Amino acid sequence: MRDFKIYISIASILLLVYLVAQYNKPNPINWSKTLYYNDKIPFGTYIIYNQLNDIFPGAIVTKTNASLYTTFHDSTIKPGNYLVIARNIHINKDDYNQLVKYVKAGNSVFLSASSFTGFIADTLKIEVNEESKGKFAELNFANGNLKQAKNYVFGSDIANNYFDDFDTTRATVIGTNNYQHSTFISFSLGKGKLYLCANPCIFTNYSLLKGNNAGYAAKALSYLSKAKNIYWDEFQNGDIPEEQSPVRFFFTHPALQWAYYLSLCGLIIFILFEIKRRQRIIPVIDPLTNSTLEFVNVVGQVYYEKRDNANIAHKKIAYFLSHLRDGFQVKTNNFNDEFVEKLTTKIGLELAFAQQLTDYLQYIANQTKVTDHELIKLNKLIEQFYIKSR
């Protein structure tokens, strides 16, 4: 059992060292293009989401996680700007009809994705393509007031998309790339406008922190009207509400996640091995009861019923003489003057009591019959001896 505890202790220490090492190990950079508003990785949108109040001062930012039909059909949605930054955007007929209704009421909707599919793509004849791969991609605005003398330079994996086809009779080109292909367009619908951008990655953390790319993103969003409400769509990007589980911290770090799994497996193995006890249960045995008093009562009852006073007296004398020999080293062969002297000198009895006790012991020892009165007197003398000899 002791060896087993040593093994468990060593294993626990090694596991603790492993956890500390893994926790302090630098995390590898995650280059996944999540476009998730709460991701601080290169291709998350944490920065742009948290800067919306700087771009739209005083606006209330609200996240939505329902389809466009459900969101715009809800009577609680207020006038404002609706933003969708996603990897891909798929809008069916019902979604599109509710979106158009919201825009026509005087609101703005901003959609940025690498591809547009569904009813919206068919209706607006939208098709997105990629430029031939190069090291860099350059973007700029068509509006002379916003156009920069020198193009905004992005990585090719960030701004390489463009609208290869769209309804030119209804659309207005807002931004182009260095190949004069349209990358940012708008549609006027009633009192509002629908904006489409083919490069969602220009709004990610990595892009905004490179050069003056943040200026391009800010100008692109500045096309939206001033509004008191800004809606950030999570549904089209496939985002889900933040996990509220107590172990969410472990699952956000791969090292802690594996440590959690290893600990769980180790605990299961330990339980399986310990299901069968290492030692049999020791039964509880009640201690033996002290039956001396009961035994004495039984023996006394037997002697009392036989009325053999002589036998009882002789046994009491024998037990008394044994006590003198063992406790005081007094010779008990004869009840003579030497015996009396030993009782007075060694034990400290009075001469008169010592003589009385000796005479009575000698008297009873020679009797074959003893009366109740004689037996009682013998018992009293012996009891007085015990009291006086303490």
Tokens found for residue 36: 């998730």
pLDDT at 333: 84
Kindly calculate the radius of gyration of the chain based on its CA atoms and give it in whole angstroms: 53
Average pLDDT for 176-196: 95
Q: What percent of the chain has pLDDT over 90?
A: 46
Residue predicted with more confidence, 242 or 294 = 294
Query: pTM for this one?
Result: 0.60
**What is the pLDDT at residue 282?**
75
Query: What is the pLDDT confidence band of residue 92, given thresholds at 50, 70 and 90?
Result: very high
Domain boundaries, given as residue ranges, for the chain: 2-24+253-274, 46-244, 292-388
pLDDT, mean of residues 259-265? 83
Name which CATH class applies to 46-244: alpha beta
Q: Distances in Å between the alpha carbon of 6 and those of 14, 269, 276, 382?
A: 12, 17, 20, 65
Question: What integer best gives the mean pLDDT of the chain?
Answer: 86
Residue 242 or residue 189, greater confidence: 189
CA dist 278 and 280 (Å) reads 7
Give residue 114's pLDDT band: very low, low, confident or very high (50, 70, 90). very high
Mean pLDDT of 162-166: 95
Give the pLDDT of residue 248: 63
What average pLDDT score do residues 198-204 get? 96
Task: Give the pLDDT confidence score for residue 86 in this predicted structure.
Answer: 95
Q: Hey, which residues does 182 pair with through a beta bridge?
A: 176
- In this prediction, residue 203 carries a pLDDT of 96
What mean pLDDT comes out for the span 69-73? Answer: 91
Lowest average pLDDT, out of 64-68, 249-253, 357-361, goes to: 249-253
pLDDT of residue 320: 85
| The pLDDT value given to residue 167 | 92
CA distance 104 to 156: 35
The C-alpha angle 240, 242, 245, rounded to 5 degrees, equals 120
In sequence order, the β-bridge partners of residue 139 are: 152, 177
213 Cβ partners below 8 Å, 6+ apart?
152, 154, 202, 207
> Distance of alpha carbon 42 from its chain centroid, rounded?
30
pLDDT tier for residue 30 given thresholds of 50, 70 and 90: confident
195 or 329, greater pLDDT? 195
Q: Among 20-29, 194-203, 356-365, whose mean pLDDT is lowest? A: 20-29
CA dist 8 and 4 (Å) reads 6
Return the higher-pLDDT residue of 52 and 10: 52
Range from 132-136, 193-197, 222-226 carrying the lowest mean pLDDT: 132-136
- What's the average model confidence in pLDDT over 105-129? 95
The C-alpha atoms of residue 187 and residue 108 are separated, in whole angstroms, by 10
**Which strands sit side by side in the sheet containing 229-233, from one edge to the other?**
60-64, 229-233, 81-85, 108-112, 192-197, 182-189, 171-177, 136-141, 152-155
CB 142 within 8 A of CB 175: yes
Query: CA-CA distance, 286 to 301, in Å (whole number)?
Result: 29
